[in-house]
Amino acid sequence: MLRQVQQHKRATLASAPRAQRGEAENLKKTHSPDVATIAGQGRLITDEPMSESAQAQASELDRHESVLQRKTAVLVLNWNNAAATLTCLRSLQGDAGELQAVAIDNGSRDGSPDVIACACPDVPVVRLPGNEGFARGNNAGLRWVLERGEYDVVVFLNNDAQISADDVLRAADMVRSDHSIGLLTGKILNPDGRLWYGGGRLRRWRGGVGIIGARRQGRSQCDLAADVTFISLAFAVTRRDVIEHVGLLADEYFFGQEEWDYSLRVRKSGYRLRYEPSIGCVHQSDGSHNNHAPEFVYNSYRNKLIFQQHYLPRWAFPLWRMVFVLYAHTILPRTCIWLRGNRLSPRLLRFCALEALRDHTPGRRIEEADLLEFRQRVKSSERGR
């Protein structure tokens, strides 16, 4: 008894551009035999012997079937903000057969996961028992994807960002067609039209990143595609094989700097980081927290210390740390008044930096409890003034 695979699936192409999807669908329709469906097997069988031409057609059909089984998963991390997450998920609505959004709830206490599941029944919700932060939260989503063989492209998307399904699928096709690309992103705008990201450079010795075009007004800025050394995971596209090669996000970080880490690891693994301005995304930023809250400033410095100890030469980190101590005592309090949107006093900013230095322990990951405990330290410090 001869078998032919005849399932009609809507999914993305593994290596061919989107234009070939219609061709594959037409091929399936043209060569579908008149056969009976075997329930539960997902296959069609026929008792009639096939001619050589029919066997060739079946072989071509199987080739297109394997191509059509590829899909794109979009990971959206939620924490106590169902409204923003739902706006993000709705922006992705379009070709549902090719795109699968996955919501990861980071231990929300406001009923978010139930709200999302009710409003978007086609979106799986991965529920975590507590707030694991950005890296570990997204890693739960990556594990969900890796357990399922149909997804060959993965998209990181902040829940306070919006992007069309078409732009996501075009970005997915770019990483499928060029396997030298390990991470890809597009032009990211603020809601008011100012640039949020137009390319990025990782500054290894300083321990920071430079965002090209940040806060410039106008969609016509940064219109040249280019290789970069830093990509924000607010919106980033990669492939399954890259994740399997590079690994998951580093889980020592609670929030922030894991994208520095992943950008560097992807490049060290021999892949390119690509900025494609034809892909557009809008990002609100600060959708789940206030970047200027003392505990998140403290978290940023803790993360920076983790990153620098990981990637600076062994002899260089003690020297960098000494310079950072001097910076925290002298330059930092004097320059913070020039930081755009800064809401911390010079004294409190220095306190955050020095406490991060005191608490830094190699190999110890940052937990939500550390940030909550630091918040209490800030209150005690303020009362003791």
The C-alpha atoms of residue 233 and residue 72 are separated, in whole angstroms, by: 16
Closest CA to 298 of 342, 344, 349: 349
CATH hierarchy code of domain 71-283: 3.90.550.60
- E strand or H helix at 156, and its extent? strand 151-158
Q: Give start-end residues of each CATH 3.90.550.60 domain in the chain.
A: 71-283
Separation of alpha carbons 228 and 264, rounded Å:
11
Name the residue with tokens 């066997």. 55
Residue 354 burial (C-beta neighbours within 10 Å; 0-12, 13-18, 19+)? middle
pTM score: 0.80
pLDDT tens for the chain, 385 residues: list them. 333 333 333 333 334 444 444 444 443 444 333 333 323 333 333 345 556 665 666 555 444 444 446 899 999 999 999 999 999 999 998 755 789 999 999 999 999 999 999 999 999 999 999 999 999 999 999 999 999 999 999 999 999 999 999 999 999 999 999 999 999 999 999 998 889 999 999 998 888 899 887 767 666 678 899 999 999 999 999 999 999 999 999 999 999 899 999 999 999 999 999 999 999 999 987 655 566 789 989 999 999 999 999 999 999 999 999 999 999 988 887 765 444 455 678 888 899 999 999 999 998 999 999 999 999 999 888 776 6
Residues 6 or more apart whose CB falls under 8 angstroms from that of 312 comprise 204, 205, 320
Distance separating alpha carbons of residues 282 and 87, to the nearest angstrom: 12
